[in-house]
């Protein structure tokens, strides 16, 4: 629930900061510093783990340095290639082709290293040998794709198509953000009480696809009832998928793999969010390049808002007047419609992946070599006690 709320509120706060003047956008980066210190302080005060103590050199030797380098470099190359392709450079340009090809090759080398050479792999391939875990990892990846689209592109819709300020666009996204956070917590409570994670995943993926499918209907004149209902449905579907697939993974794996299973799930979800922004902007920009040539716009306006400059020209639309402004807003709505179709297809992939989630027993007993400890007072003296394994 915390992850869901923070991820959803972040883009809203970004809109608030962007509306604070020419210096406000810097807070989008500055705010990470105090948040990081708060997180470190919270961990030091409240998280007490009893774990084996090893030397620094031994710890460094256990890090999968080669695997980490390969996957980081591969993802960066691939994402930069996608970002450049079709907009900054043609898809067939040597730079774009090399970036994408080398990204794929490095990812393939990463899999080879994890399978054959890494003593302590950061992503053990044995995690992908079970149908339920593969399905849940796919759902996490697709969910990251779709979830972040609502946080990133809905504010863009409100600013470009409806003429809202960055601050108001953040307010208008609250139905999606608030419902998503609440439903995420309720889903966790439901699973803890009933153990029925399968039904939660199935319902979540289906409602998510319905909500994002309805976003295809958004136009310049969509009423506020539609805007609220579509966002609520999208939030109700996305909320349970933050934790339910990961719980299903825990139920299907060996407890010793819980840490790597968690980081793998987080990595694939984060990869999905990164690809969503890049590919979403590509679909949006390419559609805008076609729409502006046949939308009744003057050549100057069409050149300003078409292609790669579309997402950066939102404030320019507000300077237009009369029919040119209406035509520009309609062009943005049409460009975003194609993008919503794309994210609907991804959401349907999550629905298909959910069919592979099997039913497994959820144990209520903690089985870990890093037991949490709690402080308790005994006869006026403080001592550590291992937390109950219940």
Q: What is the mean pLDDT of residues 312-327?
A: 80
- The single residue listed with the structure tokens 């520009």 is 328
Q: The pTM is what?
A: 0.82
260-286 pLDDT, tens digit each: 899 999 999 998 998 898 888 888 887
376 has a pLDDT exceeding 70: no
How would DSSP label each residue in 76-144?
Answer: HHHHHHHHHBTTTB-TTSHHHHHHHHHHHHHHHHHHHHHHHT-SS-SS-GGGGSSHHHHHHHHHHHHHH
Lowest mean pLDDT among 29-33, 296-300, 304-308: 304-308
Say how far apart CA 242 and CA 85 lie, in whole Å: 31
Say how far apart CA 130 and CA 252 lie, in whole Å: 8
Residue 77 in contact with residue 106, Cβ under 8 Å? yes
Q: Which fold has domain 2-32+126-362?
A: Growth Hormone; Chain: A; (1.20.1250)
Q: What is the mean pLDDT of residues 328-352?
A: 92
Q: What are the two backbone dihedrals, phi and then psi, of residue 374, each rounded to the nearest 5 degrees?
A: -125, 155
Say how far apart CA 100 and CA 111 lie, in whole Å: 17
Sheet holding 49-50, edge to edge: 49-50, 371-378, 381-386
The Cα-based distances of 303 to 55, 90, 288, 293, 321 in angstroms read 60, 18, 10, 9, 17
pLDDT score of 294? 61
Question: Which of 181, 196, 186, 188 shows the shortest CA–CA distance to 243?
Answer: 188
Lowest mean pLDDT among 156-160, 247-251, 377-381: 377-381
Say how far apart CA 237 and CA 180 lie, in whole Å: 8
Q: Where are the domains of the chain?
A: 2-32+126-362, 63-119
344-368 pLDDT, tens digit each: 999 999 999 999 998 876 666 655 5
Confidence of residue 216 (pLDDT cuts 50, 70, 90): very high
Residue 334 in contact with residue 310, Cβ under 8 Å? no
Say how far apart CA 369 and CA 329 lie, in whole Å: 58
Token pair in block for residue 266: 């987080």
pLDDT score of 386? 44
> Higher pLDDT residue, 29 or 148?
148
58-71 pLDDT, tens digit each: 878 888 899 999 99
């Amino acid at each position: 629930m915390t992850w869901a709320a923070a991820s959803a509120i972040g883009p809203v706060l970004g809109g608030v900061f962007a509306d604070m003047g020419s210096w406000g956008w810097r807070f989008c980066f500055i705010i990470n510093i105090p948040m990081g210190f708060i997180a470190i302080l919270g961990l030091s005060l409240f998280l007490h783990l009893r774990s084996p103590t090893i030397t620094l050199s031994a710890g460094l030797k256990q890090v999968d340095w080669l695997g980490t380098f390969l996957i980081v470099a591969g993802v960066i190359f691939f994402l930069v290639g996608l970002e450049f392709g079709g907009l900054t450079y043609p898809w067939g340009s040597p730079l774009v082709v090399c970036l994408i090809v080398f990204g794929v090759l490095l990812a393939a080398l990463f899999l080879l290293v994890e399978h054959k050479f890494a003593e302590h792999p950061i992503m053990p391939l044995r995690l992908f040998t079970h149908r339920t875990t593969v399905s849940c990892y796919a759902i996490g990846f697709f969910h990251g794709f779709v979830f972040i689209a609502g946080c990133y592109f809905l504010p863009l819709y409100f600013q470009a198509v409806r003429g809202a300020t960055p601050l108001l666009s953040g307010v208008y996204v609250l139905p999606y953000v608030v419902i998503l956070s609440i439903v995420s917590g309720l889903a966790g409570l439901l699973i803890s009480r009933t153990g029925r994670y399968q039904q939660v995943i199935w319902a979540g993926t289906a409602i998510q696809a319905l909500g994002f499918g309805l976003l295809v209907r958004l136009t310049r004149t969509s009423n506020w009832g539609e805007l609220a209902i579509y966002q609520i449905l999208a939030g109700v579907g996305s909320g349970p998928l933050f934790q339910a697939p990961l719980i299903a993974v825990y139920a299907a794996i060996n407890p010793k793999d819980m840490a790597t299973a968690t980081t793998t799930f987080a990595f694939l979800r984060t990869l999905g969010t990164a690809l969503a922004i890049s590919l979403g902007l590509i679909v949006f920009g390419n559609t805008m390049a076609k729409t502006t040539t046949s939308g009744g716009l003057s050549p100057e306006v069409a050149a300003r808002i078409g292609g790669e400059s579309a997402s950066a020209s939102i404030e320019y639309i507000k300077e237009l007047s009369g029919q040119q402004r209406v035509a520009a807003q309609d062009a943005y709505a049409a460009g975003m419609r194609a993008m919503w179709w794309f994210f609907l297809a991804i959401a349907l992939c999550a629905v298909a992946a959910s069919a592979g989630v099997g039913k497994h027993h959820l144990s209520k007993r903690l089985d870990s070599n890093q037991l949490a400890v709690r402080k308790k007072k005994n006869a006026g003296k403080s001592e550590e006690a291992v937390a109950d394994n219940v």
